[in-house]
Amino acid sequence: MGYDEAIIHLGDFGRYQKIIYFLICLTSIPVAFHKLAGVFLLAKPDFRCALPFENGSSYELPTHLLNLSYPQNERCSYYDVDYTEEYLNGSIPRSSNDTKTCSSYVYDRSKYLNSAVTEWNLVCGRDFMAATSDSLFMLGVLLGSIVFGQLSDKYGRKPILFASLVIQVLFGVLAGVAPEYFTYTFARLMVGATTSGVFLVAYVVAMEMVGPDKRLYAGIFVMMFFSVGFMLTAVFAYFVHDWRWLQIALTLPGLIFMFYYWIIPESARWLLSKGRKDCAIANMQKAARFNKVEISDEALSELLDEGENSEEKAKQKLEDQELDEGPPPSVWDLFCYPNLRRKTLLIFLDWLVTSGVYYGLSWNTNNLGGNVLLNFVISGAVEIPAYIFLLLTLNRWGRRSILCGCLVMAGLSLLATVIIPERMHTLMIACAMLGKLAITASYGTVYIFSAEQFPTVVRNVALGAASMVARISGMMAPFLNFLATIWKPLPLLICGSLSLAAGLLSLLLPETHNKPMLETIADGERFGKKTKGDVYLETGQELRAAEAQPLKGSGETNGSTIANGH
């Protein structure tokens, strides 16, 4: 038991743990600020070419002037004619149908005062640059999850958390004062990397301070705080209309968390893993005093020694097995066996779809029409009932049924938006938000289901690979929304089709609820494999030693890998 038993003697999830956990959860809010800010920073309002006779005019033009100046359904060029008073009055006909490319633009400022798009004219032939900027932000998220995850394992949770916060504030402000597009995009990439550093480390600290029976709840509530930050982003956008000040306003709350340096302790689990037992005991005694629990250093040391001894024995056994049986398994072993390969590809597809659809919907609120801020708030608010649904059902109904059901519901809801008449605007938004709720629930389910599908010997590295697949679809999501310029319902049609397909294909995966944890590669290959009688084999049976791969690690899921969910 070790540390898990020791924290029970400290008051379990007592007042000290609750306060630290709450403070840690708050750091998820600015992470949501930065991940969702692109909706407003790169907002693309309606626009048209500035005509030669205009000088700072408003966006609105009379219908007859629009017809005289622009080809039908075209706003990136205008007729190359002499815009005399007689022509504009309709007294003389148009002399030519030749067009001229825009040299400047007029934007509709009724919804947005300005944005990076309007300042740098990221429209017409440059509109892909806005999507590229958001895509590079998600590349930063991917890189940050790799870099900061490894650094936190090496140097500790606390220093990496605060290093991430400092870098996030510096580059967040830089993005707000960037003089041109490339500086802005680089700054946003760095901010994206730090969101992984902050959220990942905060998630791990939160998971490491509670016992095994509370980890599901601890992880879900961290994500709920992310959803709160999602909604608060719209509040900032409501009061701050200039995109530069909005970026700075969303960044500055990060300064508040600098004071955590004197409040948040280093993870006791990490200290123990590095052999710094005295420091771990000192932190645990601080928690005990706050919880008004008396326990001696000697008693704590004995409890921790029990865990250390069992871990050392397991480690020694592992080393002996590896010497006898060759190199340990790797993630590539998942593709060497037909059943494992099939399950791995299906799981990767689930991660790809859930991540891509989640961010596609989160960044698509501008294309739904109506009140953009209200749509955005609702999009964040529906995540809360999605997480509550998981807390109530995940350990009752089974993983596969929830994952499949949520993906299918998301698919059907999003496909319904395509066939709903445009005049039924409220119904269309309701279906889109139902799809967002369902995909959020599937996002919360997929990593738990995946952890139980992969054998222990490759579980952490396999989940890391699945998370990288998810980041790839996250990088593609901005270009998915870019397709709305071709046909407005197209992004929702693609998201709905992918969700429906992934949900139905998930039925091919075996249920893992109340099943033994898979340990070896051979276990993973046999689990869910159909016999001639189409009977699923369970993994409680012992496999022959010649088939089995060496046991490596524990059956417990790595919190830092799970944290890549957002």
Question: Where along the chain do the CATH 1.20.1250.20 domains lie?
Answer: 327-566
Report the alpha-carbon distance of residue 170 to residue 39 in Å, rounded.
21
Question: Alpha-carbon dihedral of residues 235, 236, 240, 245, nearest 10 degrees?
Answer: -170
Distances (CA, A) of 236 to 42, 187, 376, 438: 15, 20, 12, 26
DSSP helix, strand, coil percent of the chain (3-state; round to 5) = 70, 0, 30
Instruction: Convert the pLDDT of each residue in 75-93 to its tens digit.
Output: 889 988 888 888 888 778 8
Query: What would the mean pLDDT of 134-149 be, rounded to a whole number?
Result: 89
Q: Which residue has the higher pLDDT, 409 or 466?
A: 409
Instruction: Convert the pLDDT of each residue in 99-129 to its tens digit.
Output: 888 888 999 988 888 999 999 999 988 989 9
**Residue 62 clears pLDDT 90, i.e. is over it:** no
Contacts of 420 (CB under 8 A, 6+ apart): 427, 428, 431
Q: Within 13 Å and on the Cβ side, how many CA atoms surround 453?
A: 30
Among residues 317, 310, 345, 321, the alpha carbon closest in space to that of 331 is found at: 345
Of the listed ranges 263-267, 280-284, 380-384, 546-550, the least confidently predicted one is 546-550
The percent of residues above 90 in pLDDT, for the chain, comes to 35
Report the alpha-carbon distance of residue 526 to residue 521 in Å, rounded.
9
Query: What would the mean pLDDT of 319-325 be, rounded to a whole number?
Result: 48
Q: How many CB atoms lie within 10 A of CB 261?
A: 12
530 DSSP β-pair partners: 536
Report the alpha-carbon distance of residue 118 to residue 113 in Å, rounded.
9
- For the chain, helix (H) and strand (E) counts, in that order, are 24, 4
Question: Alpha-carbon dihedral of residues 88, 89, 92, 96, nearest 10 degrees?
Answer: 20
The DSSP code for 564 is G
First and final C-alpha spacing in the chain:
30
For residue 250, give both structure tokens.
């969303």
CATH 1.10.260.40 is the classification of domain 327-566: no
The answer to whether the pTM exceeds 0.85 is no
Among residues 300, 351, 374, the alpha carbon closest in space to that of 454 is found at: 351
pLDDT of residue 309: 54
**Residue 558 clears pLDDT 50, i.e. is over it:** no
- Answer whether 339's CB lies under 8 Å from 345's CB: no
Report the alpha-carbon distance of residue 276 to residue 280 in Å, rounded.
6
